[in-house]
Amino acid sequence: MTKRYYKDDTNTVYCIESEGDTTTVRHVSGLHTHVDELLTLRNTGNGFVSVTHAYSSTVQYNYICLDYDEAEYLYYAIGEALGLRKKKAKKVL
Protein backbone atom coordinates (compact mmCIF):
# COMPACT_ATOMS: atom_id res chain seq x y z
CA MET A 1 0.00 0.00 0.00
CA THR A 2 1.27 3.47 -0.85
CA LYS A 3 0.20 6.65 0.90
CA ARG A 4 0.69 10.24 -0.15
CA TYR A 5 -0.45 13.35 1.68
CA TYR A 6 -1.62 16.58 0.02
CA LYS A 7 -2.55 19.94 1.49
CA ASP A 8 -4.84 22.35 -0.38
CA ASP A 9 -5.29 26.13 -0.18
CA THR A 10 -7.69 25.82 2.77
CA ASN A 11 -5.09 23.84 4.80
CA THR A 12 -7.14 20.67 4.43
CA VAL A 13 -4.91 17.60 4.38
CA TYR A 14 -5.84 14.57 2.26
CA CYS A 15 -4.35 11.10 2.26
CA ILE A 16 -4.27 9.26 -1.07
CA GLU A 17 -4.01 5.49 -0.45
CA SER A 18 -3.41 3.06 -3.27
CA GLU A 19 -3.51 -0.72 -2.98
CA GLY A 20 -3.82 -2.98 -5.99
CA ASP A 21 -6.52 -1.69 -8.33
CA THR A 22 -8.13 0.63 -5.75
CA THR A 23 -7.20 4.20 -4.82
CA THR A 24 -8.94 6.01 -1.97
CA VAL A 25 -8.91 9.69 -1.05
CA ARG A 26 -9.33 10.17 2.70
CA HIS A 27 -9.76 13.29 4.78
CA VAL A 28 -7.03 13.80 7.40
CA SER A 29 -7.52 17.29 8.82
CA GLY A 30 -9.23 20.60 8.07
CA LEU A 31 -12.74 20.78 6.64
CA HIS A 32 -15.09 17.76 6.78
CA THR A 33 -13.78 16.49 10.10
CA HIS A 34 -16.62 13.94 10.32
CA VAL A 35 -15.72 12.36 6.97
CA ASP A 36 -13.26 9.51 6.41
CA GLU A 37 -13.47 8.32 2.80
CA LEU A 38 -14.16 11.04 0.23
CA LEU A 39 -13.63 9.15 -3.02
CA THR A 40 -12.75 5.63 -4.15
CA LEU A 41 -11.44 4.89 -7.65
CA ARG A 42 -11.25 1.29 -8.90
CA ASN A 43 -9.55 0.08 -12.07
CA THR A 44 -11.86 -2.60 -13.48
CA GLY A 45 -9.59 -3.74 -16.29
CA ASN A 46 -11.94 -2.08 -18.79
CA GLY A 47 -11.89 1.40 -17.30
CA PHE A 48 -12.56 3.10 -13.99
CA VAL A 49 -15.42 3.29 -11.50
CA SER A 50 -15.32 6.31 -9.21
CA VAL A 51 -17.48 6.56 -6.08
CA THR A 52 -17.81 9.87 -4.26
CA HIS A 53 -19.00 8.92 -0.78
CA ALA A 54 -21.96 10.55 0.94
CA TYR A 55 -21.13 12.46 4.10
CA SER A 56 -24.60 13.61 5.17
CA SER A 57 -28.22 12.56 4.82
CA THR A 58 -28.79 15.17 2.10
CA VAL A 59 -25.91 14.08 -0.14
CA GLN A 60 -26.07 10.97 -2.32
CA TYR A 61 -23.25 8.68 -3.36
CA ASN A 62 -22.10 9.65 -6.85
CA TYR A 63 -20.91 6.94 -9.27
CA ILE A 64 -18.96 7.67 -12.45
CA CYS A 65 -18.00 4.88 -14.85
CA LEU A 66 -15.46 5.67 -17.58
CA ASP A 67 -13.60 3.50 -20.05
CA TYR A 68 -9.89 4.25 -20.50
CA ASP A 69 -10.39 6.67 -23.41
CA GLU A 70 -13.09 8.63 -21.58
CA ALA A 71 -10.87 8.81 -18.48
CA GLU A 72 -8.00 10.14 -20.59
CA TYR A 73 -10.24 12.84 -22.13
CA LEU A 74 -11.43 13.85 -18.65
CA TYR A 75 -7.82 13.96 -17.42
CA TYR A 76 -6.89 16.37 -20.24
CA ALA A 77 -9.95 18.54 -19.64
CA ILE A 78 -9.40 18.78 -15.87
CA GLY A 79 -5.70 19.51 -16.35
CA GLU A 80 -6.56 22.33 -18.75
CA ALA A 81 -9.33 23.71 -16.51
CA LEU A 82 -7.01 23.77 -13.49
CA GLY A 83 -4.08 25.19 -15.47
CA LEU A 84 -1.93 22.11 -14.82
CA ARG A 85 -1.12 21.33 -18.45
CA LYS A 86 2.09 23.14 -19.38
CA LYS A 87 3.26 21.23 -22.45
CA LYS A 88 1.18 21.82 -25.55
CA ALA A 89 1.27 19.69 -28.68
CA LYS A 90 1.64 21.25 -32.11
CA LYS A 91 -1.61 21.46 -34.03
CA VAL A 92 -1.79 18.77 -36.70
CA LEU A 93 -3.85 19.44 -39.80
Q: Domain boundaries in the chain?
A: 2-81
Length of the chain, in residues: 93
pTM of the model: 0.76
Query: How high is the pLDDT of residue 47?
Result: 96
Nearest to 26 by CA among 34, 18, 17: 17
pLDDT at 9: 76
pLDDT digits (tens, 9 = 90+) for 68-87: 999 999 999 988 888 876 66
Nearest to 56 by CA among 26, 28, 37, 34: 34
